């Protein structure tokens, strides 16, 4: 039997999220705001601004994610919420051949942060299982994720979770997440295709 307890972050649990994220705000001062705000705003916010933005979401009754506890101590975080809350995720028709469901009823899993000593111990899988049920109770029809495909990727790259984690939970690929596929030409005439590998997969679990 697992000794992990999963809780939805509320104002009362804010100190636990602070304790888990530490002075670096999880990674590079992000405070898990990277998917929520435009790039310039994220950079301008800095660590303090991103922390204040996340704290405001929690204080105002938002439910930005889940905390995992072991022996009464926070050891893991997963960000899961309705997809429209994540401003960096463009509509499905710009992501490739995904199902034409629109945003209504779609929740996104965008980030994991696991305490260093607890990684590869099943915390992420437990958070994902709890997050699926949390989304279902919130009215989700689909849970969507954007994992990294390389096993053993660095923590900086793998914050969205590995593909294998979602496959084991029943997620299947429905398209590609390739936000940076086209850019304007320097002359301002038309656009050019970037020479990049395909973007991360869009994986979905229909509830």
Domains contained in the chain, CATH given: 4-178+188-206 (3.40.630.30)
Gyration radius (Cα) of the chain, Å: 17
Query: What φ, ψ does residue 69 adopt, rounded to 5°?
Result: -120, 140
Residues whose CB is less than 8 angstroms from the CB of residue 82 and which lie 6 or more positions away in sequence, other chains included: 103, 106, 107, 108, 138, 140
The encoded tokens of residue 139 equal: 């009215």
Residue 41 tokens read as: 């705003």
How does pLDDT run across 165-204, given as a tens digit for each residue?
A: 999 999 999 887 655 443 344 444 444 443 334 567 889 9
Residue of higher predicted confidence among 157 and 74: 74
Alpha helices by DSSP H, 7-162: 14-21, 39-59, 123-137
Burial 130-139 (b: 16+ CB within 10 A, else e): bbbebbeeee
Each residue of 73-87: pLDDT tens digit? 999 999 999 999 988
What is the rounded distance in angstroms from the CA atom of residue 29 to the CA atom of residue 9?
Answer: 19
User: For residues 158 and 99, which has the higher predicted lDDT (pLDDT)?
Assistant: 158
In angstroms, the CA 176 to CA 180 distance is 12
Model pLDDT, residue 18 = 96
Percent of the chain topping pLDDT 70: 77
Residue-wise pLDDT tens digits, 86-106: 888 865 444 444 455 556 699
């Amino acid at each position: 039997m697992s000794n992990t307890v999963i809780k939805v972050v509320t104002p009362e649990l804010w100190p636990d999220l602070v304790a888990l994220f530490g002075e670096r705000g999880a990674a590079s001062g992000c405070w898990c705001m990277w998917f929520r705000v435009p790039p310039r705003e994220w950079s301008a916010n800095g660590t303090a601004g991103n922390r204040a933005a996340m704290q405001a979401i929690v204080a105002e009754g938002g439910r930005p994610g889940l905390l995992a506890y072991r022996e009464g101590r926070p050891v893991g975080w997963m960000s899961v919420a309705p997809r429209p809350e994540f401003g960096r995720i463009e509509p499905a028709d710009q992501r490739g051949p995904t199902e034409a469901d629109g945003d209504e009823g779609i929740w996104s899993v965008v980030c994991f942060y696991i305490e260093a000593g607890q990684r590869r111990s099943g915390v992420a899988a437990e958070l994902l299982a709890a997050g699926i049920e949390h989304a279902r109770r919130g009215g989700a029809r689909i849970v969507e994720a954007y994992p990294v495909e390389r096993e053993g990727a660095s923590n900086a790259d793998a914050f969205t979770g590995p593909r294998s984690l979602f496959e084991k939970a029943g997620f299947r690929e429905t398209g590609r997440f390739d936000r940076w596929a086209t850019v304007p030409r320097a002359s301002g005439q038309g656009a050019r295709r970037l020479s990049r590998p395909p973007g991360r997969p869009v994986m979905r679990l229909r509830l």
